[in-house]
């Protein structure tokens, strides 16, 4: 059995002048080396070959289809950007196949869609070869795309672990439960946003606009029996405050309401308070 040396550390007591402390001490230990996992190495190599092949095929197809689209007087950047869609379509379907490799039913739809995109890609490559009088080259390019797709399908089928019927049902039920929780979370967020908007609209509709926003606030306690209405023509705020003072009204809020009614407009409480302080000092 093969082994390798590993350097580790441990705590050991160390005493100086009668005082003991724990200090770290390095030491070597021999640990067994596991055998090479050739299955994993071979699978990794196969995936690397498939990835390299896909890259080459995508470049080839994009170049061929892009050159074909440029012949229709389309701008080069737009033509080659559109050409990538032919290859990326079936590549994305391959990625979805990999994600659904443990669910045969879900895997069938991206696989079928991938075949459709692949057929369109191969047809476009062949048309480019026919247009450029190189039909054989076009057919070879189309076969390369089909070969890359076939290699990926073989690797995917090898990697997909088959599940028995009961386990497959359990996985489907569990995936449905988790999916329901995710869906309910999204629905709750939508409902919360909708309820917030509805509450804001209802609050806006319940709040009627003030007919006279510049006028005084209504007196909830009704008119003061001791305050007599006076003619506001030519009356100043100072005069109105003095009149309220002479009527033995000392509360600032009451004086403010009185002055506002007398002046037929809203009066600043700070102004009223300033005049009241002057009257208190004079008294």
pLDDT of 201? 81
pLDDT of 10? 92
CA separation for the pair 224, 262 (Å, rounded):
13
| Distances, alpha carbon 151 to alpha carbons 15, 86, 112, 148, in Å | 67, 19, 16, 5
Phi, psi of 152 (to 5 degrees): -60, -40
Q: Along the chain (283 residues), what's the average pLDDT of each consecutive run of 10 residues?
A: 88 91 92 86 89 90 89 85 88 89 85 91 91 88 89 85 83 86 88 84 66 50 45 68 81 84 82 84 71
pLDDT of 229? 46
Residue-by-residue DSSP string for 47-94:
HHHHHHHHHHHHHHHHHHHHHHHHTTT--HHHHHHHHHHHHHHHHHHH
Residues in the chain: 283
pLDDT of 234? 62
Buried b (16+ CB within 10 A) or exposed e, 148-180: bbebbbebbeeebeeeeeeeeeeeeeeeeeeee
pLDDT of 231? 46
């Amino acid at each position: 059995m093969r082994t390798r040396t590993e350097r580790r550390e441990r705590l050991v007591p160390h005493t100086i002048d009668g005082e003991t402390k724990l200090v770290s001490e390095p030491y070597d230990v021999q640990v067994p080396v596991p055998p090479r996992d050739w299955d994993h190495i071979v699978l990794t190599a196969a995936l690397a070959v498939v990835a390299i092949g896909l890259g080459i095929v995508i470049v080839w197809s994009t170049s061929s289809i892009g050159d074909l689209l440029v012949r229709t007087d389309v701008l080069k950047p737009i033509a080659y950007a559109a050409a990538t869609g032919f290859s990326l379509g079936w590549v994305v379907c391959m990625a979805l196949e990999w994600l659904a490799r443990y669910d045969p039913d879900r895997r069938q739809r991206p696989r079928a869609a991938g075949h459709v995109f692949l057929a369109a890609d191969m047809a476009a490559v062949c048309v480019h070869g026919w247009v450029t009088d190189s039909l054989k080259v076009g057919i070879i390019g189309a076969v390369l795309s089909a070969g890359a797709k076939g290699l990926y399908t073989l690797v995917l089928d090898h990697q997909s672990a088959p599940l028995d019927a009961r386990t497959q049902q359990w996985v489907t039920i569990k995936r449905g439960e988790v999916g329901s929780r995710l869906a309910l979370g999204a629905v709750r967020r939508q409902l919360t946003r909708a309820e917030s908007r509805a509450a804001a609209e209802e609050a806006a509709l319940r709040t009627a606009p003030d007919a006279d926003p510049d006028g005084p606030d209504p007196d909830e306690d009704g008119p003061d029996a001791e305050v007599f209405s006076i003619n506001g023509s030519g009356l100043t705020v100072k005069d109105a405050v003095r009149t309220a003072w002479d009527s033995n009204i000392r509360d600032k809020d009451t004086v403010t309401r009185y002055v506002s009614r007398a002046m037929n407009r809203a009066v600043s409480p700070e102004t009223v308070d300033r005049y009241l302080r002057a009257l208190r000092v004079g008294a």
